[in-house]
Structure 1
Amino acid sequence: MEFTPDRSAKKPIYKQIAEYIEKEISSGEFSPDTRLPSERALAKKLNVNRSTVVAAYNELESIGLVERKIGSGTHINTDIWGISHKRIPNWGRYVEDGSFLPNLPLVQKIRTETQKNALINLASGELAPDLFPVDQFRSILIKQPFSGHLGYDHPHGNEMLRETISNHLYNYKNICVRPESILITSGAQQALHLIVQCLLKPGDTIAIENPSYAYSLPLFQSAGLRILSLPIDRYGVNPYSIIELQRKHRIRMLFLNPDHQNPTGTKLSINRRKRILELSSEYGIPIIEDDPYSLTSFNGDIGPCLKSMDENGNVVYISSLSKIVASGLRIGWIIGPQKVIERLADAKQQVDFGHSVFPQWIANEFLGSPHFDLHISLLRKHLKERRDLIISALLNLSEVETDFIVPEGGIHLWCKLNEQIDEYKLLDASMKKGVAFVPGSIFGSEKGSIRFSFGRGEKHLIEEGIYRFASALKSSGSG
């Protein structure tokens, strides 16, 4: 067996061994009934642990390529291509070879642990159940029975909902848009996916904020894009960073979250907004404005959004009801030039034949009713109370020394610890104490930062969550 495992590769060695043997079987180099080296002999030849070879042989046996015979070792299956034996596809290979990348393992772990365990959840970027407008939805369902049709809707989404969104955007954000320039999506996540898949190609260079929620999304890497980072300070992205990147690279698209940014909570200053729009026009770089949080502004001051300042049609605007009404409603929208909306709508039709009629119906009823304005007012009040609780808890703990910018809206608090720390070990220790957060490096920043989300944490548990975090920090040897 002429094979040497690549110890520098990310792929586990046992998988490398299994794939090599599978390749040799497929090519005919290993004929049926060939006896493979014993586990001990192959481990010695490849200079690996015997358990590594055992794992490789187990994987080959699970897909029907080899048989383990007591007393005679491991053999290539004699009936691989016959009718009496059913081969099992190597699903592990298929899973690994797919072009759409999975979430980062740490992201998967946080999601799994917060769902199955009774953790105080300061990690998830969503609203707590007690902040959902459940009573208002119930009232709508009782007083206004569904009267829509149940067939496929317009490719852009329900016409009445798009008209309501058009009025909503004008009244709340001073954005003038016609319904035909709006596409309803399954939240902002699908909107981003459609933009990446339809408007960019592998090898294109994009620029995103650093830190940024976008760093945690594999969709950019899956699309083969080159990602450049724009550092953030307390006033958001510095326009000079865009100039410097453009001098060295040809930026094809700029992704920004200007209001109460995720994860830092910062708000892009007015002067910087104006300058970035000027640079967009000067260089011909389209801007994707992701705006999930501007309505949560605690003092009620909204925007101005980049889209409301856009005089040349350079901004494609994304927003949703996920962070201000209910994440499970799955109602988002994209605003852009009509030809762009037509292209994205065609792609969405290929994926799901348009959005479900029921969420669109109830979103239209709620968004166009007095319930919405009252809900937003209460939401701002409750989110500000939660923000104040988490800040007060951090300030009252002398053993937790952090720097943070007090957010004026949104649901996130970005903390920089004032000492060196392994944030992944700290997360493990915190979960054992019963509280979850998100390590900063998930968002592309340097180590030593963490994101607390106060929107998801239940109000009476936020302070306890910070105490548990402090206990984990101390027990992990960093406090």
Structure 2
Amino acid sequence: MPVWNEPKRRRPALYKQIAQDLERRISSGEFPPGSKLPSERTLAKEWNVNRSTVVSAYEELRALGLIERMQGSGSRVSSDIWGLARHRLPNWPKLVENGAFLPNAPLLRHIRKETLDHDLIDFASGELSPDLFPAASFRRILSEQPFDWQLGYDHPQGSPELRAIIAEHVRQERGINATPSSILITSGAQQALYLVIQCLLKPGDAVAIEDPSYCYSLRSFRSAGLKLCYLPVDRDGINPDDILALHREHRLKMVFLNPHFQNPTGATLSPARKQRVLELSAELGIPVIEDDPYSMTAFSGTPVPTLKSLDRNGTVLYISSLTKIIASGLRIGWVIGPQTVIERLADAKQQVDFGHSIFPQWVAHQFLRSPDYEGHMDHLRAALHARRERFVKALREKLGNEVELFLPEGGIHLWCRFRNELDGNAVLTEAIRRGVVFVPGNVLGTDKHAIRFTFGRAEEKSIEEGIQRFAEAYREAVQNFSRTSDPLC
């Protein structure tokens, strides 16, 4: 089974290594203020580098105010290194680089920046289109319902009223028997995942995630020093036998699954595989983290049975949210699990933010108990189904059999695998030039021939135009790839 091991952090460029070494020697007093530093030629020989590399290192130190370059007499440590008031600017770039919490993948940061800075057709953002939010219902709630909740710090696990209605909601619509005391309100599902990783795992632990998956792109796993093992996803989800094989080799501590209309493939774990996952979890004592943002979006209107609803041994920790079914800006998510786990996660959340804001909890509570909720869900499922159909029709018209489509029966994502050899990053560059953005498959897993479109984020009127621009970008990138790959070129 494939496994990903955390690589050593990339070493800085040579000139930065030289600059850092000299900074340490200056700080330790080896080179006191006013002292002369080794010549560029001497240092180049010592480090076995070009003289230009040393020049760059000295320029770095000069920019920090540590050294002075004297014409004709080389470089010296600044005689006023601490300044008249013994002030010195922090080395913010160095602090940023060395932080333990890793930044998002560069490509994801690039996609976000381009989407924010330019008016692009957005097939990348993992959220609903604004016209699918129940904005009119929220306005009515805010104007007609009196706010009578307390304004101090709330219960560590979140509002008791909201937890009570969520317990009723998951019982009626997801088949999960939960009590308010078994629920923790979080800032969306992503905070729930972060708390689980930080509180229940330690560096070096092996965990299994789907490939491809949203979790693949999360830096939280890598920041925590976890060993990531991959579970390939097909049209019926992951193969439970792969969990067993990985556990025998790596002693898994947890399995993270998104079993319904999975992000990004849209796959749903088959009933037989669900049962086998639960059997293995109980047999091996491996907790399963079920991330379930999409089961309520089933186009049929009949929610699929969750793993948690089938769990008879208490091995599933259930995570969900209102992000993909009501509004991402509410930031309402939750975890359902054993009380000892919930109390541990709640304690950590208190350390981070002193508990969730009371206002979005109040709005969510009012909406979930209102008659508007059911109508909104019916409208949402129909709208998502219609957008998926328009997306599929446009892709087949523009690209024909050049692309294999994985058709989901719910959710908001469409996974596309291309038959030609594909450089997803090059296609993205061309697509952004044409005013459309998506997520290349290599950001979400090991498949470099695939991409993810988020049809739930796309405005209906822009779907055909966006696919037209994408098709042009794809063909341009394929032609460029063929030219550069031709040995005669």
| TM-score, normalised by the number of residues in structure 2 | 0.92
Distance in 2 of aligned mates of 1:346 and 1:398? 52
1:373 and 2:374 matched: yes
Q: Secondary structure at the match of 2:215?
A: helix
CA contact (8 A) 2:206 2:251 kept: yes
Match of 1:395 in 2: 396
Distance in 1 of aligned mates of 2:400 and 2:20? 51
* Deviation (angstroms), 1:82: 5.9
Match of 2:109 in 1: 108
* Deviation (angstroms), 1:65: 1.3
Q: Secondary structure at the match of 1:135?
A: helix
Match of 1:143 in 2: 144
Match of 1:61 in 2: 62
CA contact (8 A) 2:165 2:365 kept: yes
- CA deviations on 1:310-337 (whole Å, 9 max, x unpaired) are 1111100000011111111100000000
Match of 1:217 in 2: 218
Q: How does 1:28-67 map to 2 (within 5 A)?
A: 28-36=29-37, 52-67=53-68
Match of 1:260 in 2: 261
- Aligned residue-pair number: 472
Distance in 2 of aligned mates of 1:473 and 1:47? 45
Distance in 1 of aligned mates of 2:361 and 2:101? 28
- CA deviations on 1:61-86 (whole Å, 9 max, x unpaired) are 33321234456553211122464442
Do the aligned partners of residues 399 and 66 (structure 1) sit closer, same or farther apart at CA in structure 2, a change above 3 Å counting?
Answer: farther
Distance in 2 of aligned mates of 1:436 and 1:50? 43
CA contact (8 A) 2:399 2:471 kept: no
Match of 2:191 in 1: 190
Distance in 1 of aligned mates of 2:361 and 2:123? 30
* Deviation (angstroms), 1:40: 7.8
Match of 1:341 in 2: 342
Q: How does 1:167-316 map to 2 (within 5 A)?
A: 167-316=168-317
Do the aligned partners of residues 52 and 322 (structure 1) sit closer, same or farther apart at CA in structure 2, a change above 3 Å counting?
Answer: farther
* Deviation (angstroms), 1:39: 6.1
Distance in 2 of aligned mates of 1:128 and 1:136? 16
Q: Secondary structure at the match of 1:209?
A: strand
- CA deviations on 1:426-463 (whole Å, 9 max, x unpaired) are 11111111111111111122211111111112111111
Do the aligned partners of residues 208 and 88 (structure 1) sit closer, same or farther apart at CA in structure 2, a change above 3 Å counting?
Answer: same
Distance in 2 of aligned mates of 1:399 and 1:33? 71
CA contact (8 A) 1:399 1:470 kept: no
- CA deviations on 1:234-288 (whole Å, 9 max, x unpaired) are 0001111111112212111010000000010100001100111011111011100
Distance in 1 of aligned mates of 2:379 and 2:144? 23
Match of 2:418 in 1: 417
Distance in 1 of aligned mates of 2:373 and 2:84? 64
CA contact (8 A) 1:394 1:400 kept: no
Match of 1:433 in 2: 434
Query: Match for 1:340: what amino acid?
Result: V
CA contact (8 A) 1:420 1:478 kept: no
Match of 1:408 in 2: 409
Do the aligned partners of residues 400 and 77 (structure 1) sit closer, same or farther apart at CA in structure 2, a change above 3 Å counting?
Answer: farther
Moved more, 195-204 or 31-40: 31-40
Match of 2:486 in 1: none
Match of 1:447 in 2: 448
- Name stretches of at least 5 consecutive residues in structure 1 with no aligned partner: 1-7
Match of 1:12 in 2: 13
CA contact (8 A) 1:419 1:478 kept: no
Query: Match for 2:163: what amino acid?
Result: R
Query: Match for 2:76: what amino acid?
Result: H
Q: Secondary structure at the match of 2:478?
A: coil
* Deviation (angstroms), 1:203: 1.1
- Name stretches of at least 5 consecutive residues in structure 2 with no aligned partner: 1-8, 481-489
Distance in 2 of aligned mates of 1:377 and 1:148? 30
Do the aligned partners of residues 82 and 394 (structure 1) sit closer, same or farther apart at CA in structure 2, a change above 3 Å counting?
Answer: closer
* Deviation (angstroms), 1:400: 6.8
1:131 and 2:144 matched: no
Distance in 2 of aligned mates of 1:280 and 1:174? 20
Match of 1:3 in 2: none
Distance in 2 of aligned mates of 1:179 and 1:214? 28
Do the aligned partners of residues 40 and 147 (structure 1) sit closer, same or farther apart at CA in structure 2, a change above 3 Å counting?
Answer: farther
Do the aligned partners of residues 447 and 371 (structure 1) sit closer, same or farther apart at CA in structure 2, a change above 3 Å counting?
Answer: same
Aligned residues: CA RMSD: 1.9
* Deviation (angstroms), 1:91: 1.2
CA contact (8 A) 1:215 1:442 kept: yes
* Deviation (angstroms), 1:35: 3.5
Distance in 2 of aligned mates of 1:374 and 1:51? 68
Distance in 1 of aligned mates of 2:52 and 2:329? 44
CA contact (8 A) 2:259 2:269 kept: yes
Do the aligned partners of residues 48 and 117 (structure 1) sit closer, same or farther apart at CA in structure 2, a change above 3 Å counting?
Answer: farther
Q: Secondary structure at the match of 1:88?
A: coil
Identity %: 57
CA contact (8 A) 2:436 2:470 kept: yes
Query: Match for 1:132: what amino acid?
Result: F
Match of 1:332 in 2: 333
Query: Match for 1:314: what amino acid?
Result: T
Do the aligned partners of residues 70 and 145 (structure 1) sit closer, same or farther apart at CA in structure 2, a change above 3 Å counting?
Answer: farther
Do the aligned partners of residues 388 and 229 (structure 1) sit closer, same or farther apart at CA in structure 2, a change above 3 Å counting?
Answer: same
- CA deviations on 1:372-407 (whole Å, 9 max, x unpaired) are 111111111111111111111110024771112101
* Deviation (angstroms), 1:171: 1.2
Moved more, 245-254 or 397-406: 397-406
Distance in 1 of aligned mates of 2:109 and 2:187? 21
Distance in 1 of aligned mates of 2:12 and 2:400? 41
CA contact (8 A) 1:122 1:456 kept: yes
Distance in 1 of aligned mates of 2:267 and 2:194? 24
Query: Match for 1:56: what amino acid?
Result: A
Q: Secondary structure at the match of 2:411?
A: coil
| TM-score, normalised by the number of residues in structure 1 | 0.94
Q: Secondary structure at the match of 1:154?
A: coil
- CA deviations on 1:3-29 (whole Å, 9 max, x unpaired) are xxxxx9542223212211111212222
